[in-house]
Structure 1
């Protein structure tokens, strides 16, 4: 059930192309909670995640809406109208936007890989926005688990094992809800026999069809 990882730029390039693309980039270490970009940021940089996890989110008054999590190989900029924050210790490769633009003019072979990565990020953002607008929290959770099952699920005994490098708080941020709500819904799905929680971020999906059907229910 594993497909190609369209969101990892570094894995998509051969060594020579990668080295040429990253000329002028520098490594930056981020501590958990450190902001890399914000709506008022003056910095005009492009970054590629080398390790860790970066959260891209919008904030309005006391509400936050997570657009995506960037992991190894993800690419983004510091000058969007979103907050960009490390949610765990991370390392990024930072480069000047103008310099990268000039590099790409002489390195056209890297452009398709960058477009694929940005397309995957944009697609994820659009799914999250659609879910927030049209699905209740249970539907959003079911759709998230179903999507991850397609990407990462593997047969395990009579079920499908899903291992996520995300805790309940991370999932709640993606779904625009609270950790308590996600935990409560997972417990309900467990009681209904849809899944069982094996460990932190590890699930056995016993009824993938019911999970998918639940993910397709829109809020009334």
Structure 2
């Protein structure tokens, strides 16, 4: 981290890519960076929603818990992504919990300071609205998957969405780094871990995908789409 400044990381967030240098300097001034160890909370449910967060390095898990203590994972946040953004829309208290899944560097901005910053950069408001809309759409699609798809289809649908949102296309293949643990996929798709393992193994044996702990390669995305029809 020592060789890269906070400003350098802010400049590499897609959300801020169109801002002018003086705006970036102001953003740098109003943001605070935090280094948080693995499996540490960023915020808890019912805490005041005072800040917007941006993940510079590491990974963060966003979850909700039912009254009986069952965890529902909503998303994994990767470097370059914003989270806790509902504070910007007037959320008073957090409804979910954010926990690091590996050592992370995070930028935090007070929501009032951020609102004033957006007023000076109105194009940013459109980007934020689109970002929040896409996240809500993603959550809605996950709920539809849970209701209308069986466990195998849910895993395959998840792989395709993961590749579309975080992957890189090289020829006909799609590469995703890093890949998730089987238990994480199970939690995100409401499946048993063994089900995830069986589906992934079957797809690999058929040559449709390949994977290890560090990456997922989808050799034939169309074959996955056919299974979902």
Scaled by the length of structure 2, the TM-score of the pair is 0.77
Poorly superposed stretches of 4+, deviation over 6 Å: none
Contact 2:49 2:94 in 1 (8 A): no
Where do residues 95-106 of structure 1 align in structure 2 (5 Å cutoff)?
95-106=109-120
Q: Which residue of 2 aligns with 1:172?
A: 186
Contact 1:75 1:118 in 2 (8 A): no
Question: C-alpha offsets along residues 162-217 of structure 1, whole Å, 9 cap, x if unaligned?
Answer: 333122233223223343321121112233x152434224344344333112234x
Q: Secondary structure at the match of 2:30?
A: coil
Matched, 1:135 2:149: yes
RMSD of aligned residue pairs (Cα, Å)? 2.6
| Mapped partners of 2:69, 2:103: distance in 1 | 25
Q: Which residue of 2 aligns with 1:55?
A: 61
Q: Which residue of 2 aligns with 1:183?
A: 197
Q: Select between 124-133 and 27-36 the one with higher mean Cα deviation.
A: 124-133
Q: Which residue of 1 aligns with 2:7?
A: none
Matched, 1:74 2:81: yes
Q: Select between 96-105 and 168-177 the one with higher mean Cα deviation.
A: 168-177
The offset of 1:106, in angstroms, is: 2.1
Q: Which residue of 2 aligns with 1:45?
A: 51
Q: Secondary structure at the match of 1:190?
A: helix
Q: Which has the higher helix share?
A: 2
Which of the numbers 58, 65, 85 marks the counterpart of 2:72?
65
Contact 2:46 2:94 in 1 (8 A): no
Provide structure 1 residue ranges, at least 5 long, that are not aligned to the other structure: 1-6
Q: Secondary structure at the match of 1:93?
A: strand
| Mapped partners of 1:48, 1:86: distance in 2 | 13
